[in-house]
Amino acid sequence: MRMSQLFLRTLRDDPADAEVPSHKLLVRAGYVRRVAPGIYSWLPLGLKVLAKVEEIVREEMEAIGSQEVRFPALLPREPYEATNRWTEYGPNLFRLHDRRGNDMLLGPTHEEMFALLVKDLYGSYKDLPLSLYQIQTKYRDEARPRAGILRGREFVMKDSYSFDVTDEGLERSYQAHREAYVRIFDRLGLDYVVVQADSGAMGGSASEEFLAVAEIGEDTFVRSPGGYAANVEAVVTVAPDPQPYDGLPAAHAEQTPDTPTIDTLVAHLNERFPREDRPWTGADTLKNVLVVLRHPDGSREALAIGVPGDREVDTKRLETQVAPADVEPFTEEDFAAHPALKKGYIGPGVLGEESETGIRYLVDPRVVDGTRWVTGANVAGSHVIDLVAGRDFTADGTIEAAEVRAGDPAPDGSGPLELARGIEMGHIFQLGRKYAEALDLKVLDENGKLVTVTMGSYGVGISRAVAAVVESSHDELGIVWPRELAPFDVHVVVAGKQPELFEAADRLVAELEAAGLDVLYDDRPKVSPGVKFKDAELLGMPTTVVVGKGLADGLLEVKDRASGTRRDVALADVITEVR
């Protein structure tokens, strides 16, 4: 490809809205171009990189026997209604109507569609196990689209789904995917960790995330020298030396006879905080908040309670409407004094069940003097924080913190935890039978009995990977592509005006191409060598070959983008040098 022909304008200045290096560089180097917040066009160079990431993922998916299909992005409402996700997705879902007034959506992920496809065509245990994947554009109306293609509202994902009859089958499918993901992220050259994405205490290894280690990442994870790794959302912290908390009168130990269920909470939410757009359901995500209970005897108690995840509540409302009579609302001073406190609703915080989404709630409702108190609550989303008496809160109820700290022991005893940040690159998940049940995906087993299929769901952020690689591989001059992802293998630059330089470069490019290399050829006649070198550094091909002054002595300069080293190489040796 000749630079004189390439559809490309490199930019000297960073885009005004860019904060992270990958965003700045991918725009400046002409790989992507913004259309609207979180929505980007891929230009020729960017599209080549994207295709290379796709190819790596495709090869590794094929290697575990997964077969490629492709669904539309434009989908009908009904399947998502059946699994309740039409409601559950809330404002994250792009919704639209067709001309007949039917509700449609732009797919954020495709569990429903894959389950229905398999149901449509398969009916026997003999058809399974099965694994299908697609590489396809997804739509999520992210609250905070960020960092260019790193968090887009339109983005490319590889999503795959496994279908098995037995739990052991699902476990095998999951492991096969896990291994494929390890190979994918190794090949992408990323420094990554595999972390527990669900509560270790409650969910085992049912869900894991692949996080690329990066300061600018939005996920915080912990790891120990002994190999424990978890998203902080999934960590269960344990005190080095847990002390019994005896701030409550003994009578608090009495259990509420009618332990409330998820329905209680849902009914409560719908009654007290009705939503205009849709009712609350058991599948709504709840967030942690900490509340302080002030007991009748004057003692205070800190506890975590689940709150609806998509709501920000002003303190005024919290005070006037939300706080149940037995929970005192936080004051502004409380929020200021305790960074761990988050503003939000305080629900009744009861539950001891697993919800439809697999979110678990732990609570310990008790009754004292006829008044119900919720104590020792542990909460929702994938968050679990054990509040530790004597550390997270003191006997007089002061909250010190309620978060994992560096140096805390790993839950599995594998040493002190270190905290770091990462970018979620992939997510593998043992879904189980939830979706299959909702959509009635059943097959006949060996005994001719109908059994519900168990599913796994596995995602890789393809477009996000392009940005993540740039995050991990750039310098102040520009991008530094690993060979496997670079849009071109070699960048040939003519440094000078003399026709013989261009003639030599033309011949060299032809030879490199004949040797199977993909060449970007800077043949622009009126551009100075300085500008060409700057562009070459910004664009980031792994090797640059300069045809310049040395040619008179039969020499070309070969530059390595990553190390910055340059050496003179005889014309005849260049192909072996760069191959």
Q: Does 330 bind ligand ATP (CB under 6 A)?
A: no
Nearest residue to 464 via CA among 156, 218, 213, 158: 156
What are all long-range contacts of 61-64, with beta carbons under 8 Å and residues at least 24 apart? 61/133, 61/158, 61/160, 61/180, 63/180, 63/183, 64/131, 64/176, 64/177, 64/179, 64/180
Task: Work out how close the CB of 551 gets to ligand ATP at its nearest, in angstroms, rounded to a whole number.
Answer: 46
Task: Work out how close the CB of 426 gets to Mg ion at its nearest, in angstroms, rounded to a whole number.
Answer: 8
* Complex with Mg ion: residue 359 or 399, whichever CB lies closer: 359
What would the two tokens of residue 448 be? 């001719």
Residue found by looking up tokens 């180097």 in the block:
29
The rounded distance, in Å, linking the Cα atoms of 134 and 159 is 6
Residue type (1 letter), 356? E
| Pure H helices in 422-561 | 434-439, 462-472, 499-514, 529-539
Q: Are 335 and 343 in contact (CB under 8 A)?
A: yes
Residues 146-185 that bind ligand ATP (CB under 6 A): 151-152, 155, 157
Q: Are 357 and 88 in contact (CB under 8 A)?
A: yes
Which among Mg ion, ligand ATP, none contacts residue 155 (Cβ within 5 to 8 A by kind)?
ligand ATP
The rounded distance, in Å, linking the Cα atoms of 486 and 488 is 5
How many other C-beta atoms lie within 10 A of the C-beta of residue 19?
12
Q: Does 381 bind ligand ATP (CB under 6 A)?
A: no
Q: Does 287 bind Mg ion (CB under 5 A)?
A: no
Task: Work out how close the CB of 175 gets to Mg ion at its nearest, in angstroms, rounded to a whole number.
Answer: 19
Q: Does 217 bind ligand ATP (CB under 6 A)?
A: no
Q: Are 92 and 99 in contact (CB under 8 A)?
A: no
* Complex with ligand ATP: residue 329 or 461, whichever CB lies closer: 461
Task: Work out how close the CB of 458 gets to ligand ATP at its nearest, in angstroms, rounded to a whole number.
Answer: 8
Residue in 295, 338, 427, 434 binding Mg ion, rule: CB under 5 A: 427
Q: Does 464 bind ligand ATP (CB under 6 A)?
A: yes
Binding mask 395-424 for Mg ion (x = CB under 5 A): -----------------------------x
| Pure H helices in 412-472 | 434-439, 462-472
* Complex with Mg ion: residue 159 or 424, whichever CB lies closer: 424
Which among Mg ion, ligand ATP, none contacts residue 464 (Cβ within 5 to 8 A by kind)?
ligand ATP
Q: Which stretch binds Mg ion (CB under 5 A): 210-218, 359-367, 426-434, 541-549?
A: 426-434
Which among ligand ATP, Mg ion, none contacts residue 152 (Cβ within 5 to 8 A by kind)?
ligand ATP
Q: Does 426 bind ligand ATP (CB under 6 A)?
A: yes
Q: Does 427 bind ligand ATP (CB under 6 A)?
A: yes
The DSSP result for 314-371, as a single string, is -HHHIIIIIS-TTSPPPPHHHHHH-TT------------SB-TTS-B-EEEEEEETTE
Task: Work out how close the CB of 172 gets to ligand ATP at its nearest, in angstroms, rounded to a whole number.
Answer: 21
* Complex with ligand ATP: residue 355 or 375, whichever CB lies closer: 355
Residue least distant from ligand ATP (Cβ): 461
What would the two tokens of residue 43 be? 């230009």
Task: Work out how close the CB of 427 gets to Mg ion at its nearest, in angstroms, rounded to a whole number.
Answer: 4
Verify cis geometry, omega within 30 degrees of 0, for the bond prior to 339. Answer: no
Which among ligand ATP, Mg ion, none contacts residue 491 (Cβ within 5 to 8 A by kind)?
none
* Complex with ligand ATP: residue 88 or 523, whichever CB lies closer: 88
The rounded distance, in Å, linking the Cα atoms of 345 and 291 is 10
What would the two tokens of residue 242 be? 């847990």
Q: Does 282 bind ligand ATP (CB under 6 A)?
A: no
Residues 95-124 that bind ligand ATP (CB under 6 A): 109
**Residues found near Mg ion in the complex (CB under 5 A):** 424, 427
What is the contact surface with ligand ATP in residues (CB under 6 A)? 109, 140, 142, 151-152, 155, 157, 424-427, 459, 461, 463-464
